[in-house]
Every structure is written in C-alpha cells, then in structure tokens.
C-alpha cells in the first residue's frame, strides 16, 4: 500500500514538504480512536528472539529509527506504533537554529538515495526536552547531540555538555554527532585529540550523575583505516558504550546521475542504497577492532540488508532513507526475517 499509493503521492511534493506532510498526516491519523492500535497490530512484532539487552537497556527488537527524521521529537508516540524497537531524535543543539538555506534535501530515486545538507535545523535543546518530556510512549529514546554552527570547534565540548545535561532526564542514551558533513568544520572534531577531549569531558559529566547514561559515537563512512584505528583507541580510552556506523557520505561515485545533475544539487551527505557497501566496509573493519555494541545505519533497504549488517558485527540497525523509500513495512519485514533466522 505504501509503495503503491502513499509514496507516489508524497513524491509529488518536494522532499522537505513531503516530510512535513507525512508528519501532519501521521499525527492526524493517530488522533482517530484506536488508530494507534491498528498501526501496532499491523507493524509491531513481539517475540522473545528479538529482545536483547545492550549497555544496560532492554531493546524489544533491534530495528530503530535513525536520527534526522524526527529531529525535534515531534512524532515519537506516533512512530512508536510502527514497530520500531527504539527511536533516535536530533541532532539537537543548545540553541535553536534554522539550518542551511532551502532547498537542502534532494531525492535520487534511480539510486534509492537522498542528499541532504540540512545543517542541524532544530528547535534547540530546551524546547525539545520540554516536548519529549510529555510523550506517552515508553519506547527507548536516543538523543543525538551536536554543536551550534556558530560555536567554534575549540568550544564544541561546551555545547555537547549543555545538550547532555538538558536531555539527561528525558532520553535513554546519547549519541555524539561529529560526523555530519553539513556543519562547517564539524568533521574536524573526529580527529583524535579534539574528539578524545570532548568524550572525556562528557564522561566526567556522565559519571557525576546519579546514574550513567550510555554514550555512543556516530562516525562517518569516509574515514580511513588509520582514522578508524584512532577511533578504536578512543573507544577504549574514553570508555565509550558503543558506536553508530555510519553517517552519510560525501562520496558521489557510482551514482546513476550525471556530474552536471549532481553539481546542480550541490553539497550534502548522501544516504540510502549507494552508501550500503561503503558503510559495510567501515562496519566490518571497526567491529574487528572494538568490543562495544555497534548500531549499523546506512543503506538498509531490505531485510537481507539488515541481516548482513548484523552478520558484520552490528547488534542493532537503524533506518532512515530505507524507511522513506520502503515505508514502515520494512521494519516488520526485518523483524520477521530475524525471527526466522535466529
């Protein structure tokens, strides 16, 4: 139904407009009595084989919604009815920011891909914390945190700590995002010295709380093996709880579009099917170097894609672009495939 009727309708709109239409329609539908029950009956699968405990949290199933789709925590309750085992909001920054000028989100349907240069557009940590505090769903919630565009890199740790403290009571785990290509200079923070400093300061703050919250790091698929070796050392040194592999790529190779068409679109992070192999290479390499749970993201378009990610060392998977192209049925298909193969 989604691919036959819903997706063709949504693709009549610009990608960002379709995003807002989807959220509005989902919110409206879920206000109908018993609508959420219908969605749960359609998409949710509860099975003991899917349940697992990682970094002290119980995941009802290993399929999550990646950060970036619900940046502001607007549709957590609605999305929780679509079969996900966990949801990640953000990226959240201390101050609200509009992000980059529009248009900033582009479809590449021939490649089942998206290019975005959103630029951490979000309502800011205080508004988002207040909103997610009111949620009804108890689904596990991750908080993806970043720095404001105008914050200098030497002061970046302050932004991450502010977000950590503001969201601490409302999320179950944190993700440090230094790998988005859409904030100028942000990826420089992936280098060993600044990244170690940020994570150590976050862990000091974390250890001062009444209860530690898991802290994960989201990395880019464009890192070299030498940089991944540094990441592995950082994981050990800063006692990170886990990794997310991976964010979007700046690579434009092997796409079905001309150089001129890609230049018209311009800069941004590429997600979807074309990043699958690249992110898998990073996943395979880094999983051999670290002994922490890994959440795999990047190009998961089928249940078989998710199973391959898990076989390469991931414990959980996340959907974004696959969810846009394939719809919520993909969550169900992955969970059914897992039950059959576990």
User: Which residues are known to be catalytic?
Assistant: 180
Antiparallel, parallel or unpaired: β 105-108 and 316-319: unpaired
CA distance 53 to 67: 21
CA distance 200 to 194: 10
Give, as one character, the DSSP assignment of residue 289: T
- Judged by DSSP in three states, 56 sits in coil
Give, as one character, the DSSP assignment of residue 71: T
Give, as one character, the DSSP assignment of residue 111: G
Spatial CA neighbour of 251 closest among 275, 281, 231, 282: 275
Up-side HSE of residue 39: CA atoms within 13 Å toward CB?
A: 21
CA distance 112 to 322: 8
**DSSP code string of 188-254:** GGGSHHHHHHHHHHHHHHHHTSSS---EEEEE-TT--HHHHHHHHHHHHHHT--EEEE---B---TT
Antiparallel, parallel or unpaired: β 242-245 and 294-297: parallel
Positive or negative torsion for Cα 122, 128, 131, 135? positive
């Amino acid at each position: 139904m989604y691919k036959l009727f819903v997706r063709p309708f949504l693709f009549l709109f610009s990608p960002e407009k379709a995003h807002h239409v989807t959220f509005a329609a989902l919110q409206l539908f879920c206000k109908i009595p018993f609508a959420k029950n219908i969605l749960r009956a359609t998409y949710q699968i509860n099975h003991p084989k899917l349940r697992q405990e990682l970094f002290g949290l119980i995941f009802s199933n290993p399929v999550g919604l990646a950060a970036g789709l619900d940046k502001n925590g607007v549709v957590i309750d609605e999305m929780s009815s679509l079969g996900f085992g966990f949801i990640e909001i953000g990226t959240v920054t201390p101050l609200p920011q509009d992000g980059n000028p529009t248009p900033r989100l582009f479809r590449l349907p021939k490649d089942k891909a998206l290019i975005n240069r959103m630029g951490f557009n979000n309502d800011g940590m205080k508004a988002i914390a207040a909103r997610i505090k009111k949620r009804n769903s108890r689904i596990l919630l991750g908080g993806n945190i970043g720095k404001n565009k105008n914050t200098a890199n030497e002061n970046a740790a302050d932004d991450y700590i502010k977000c950590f403290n503001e969201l601490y009571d409302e999320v179950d785990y944190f993700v440090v995002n230094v790998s988005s290509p859409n904030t100028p200079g942000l990826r420089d923070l992936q280098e060993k010295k600044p990244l170690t400093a940020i994570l150590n300061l976050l862990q000091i703050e974390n250890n001062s709380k009444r209860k530690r919250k898991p802290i994960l790091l989201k990395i880019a698929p464009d890192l070299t093996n030498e940089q991944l070796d540094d990441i592995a050392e950082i994981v050990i040194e800063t006692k990170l709880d886990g990794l997310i592999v991976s964010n979007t790529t700046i690579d434009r190779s092997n796409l079905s579009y001309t150089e001129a068409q890609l230049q018209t679109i311009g800069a941004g992070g590429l997600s979807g099917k074309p990043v699958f192999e690249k992110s898998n290479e990073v996943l395979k390499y880094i999983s051999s170097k670290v002994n922490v749970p890994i959440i795999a993201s990047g190009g998961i378009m089928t249940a078989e894609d998710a199973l391959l990610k898990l076989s390469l060392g991931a414990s959980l998977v996340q959907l974004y672009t696959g969810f846009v192209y394939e719809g919520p049925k993909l969550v169900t298909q992955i969970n059914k495939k897992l039950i059959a193969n576990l």
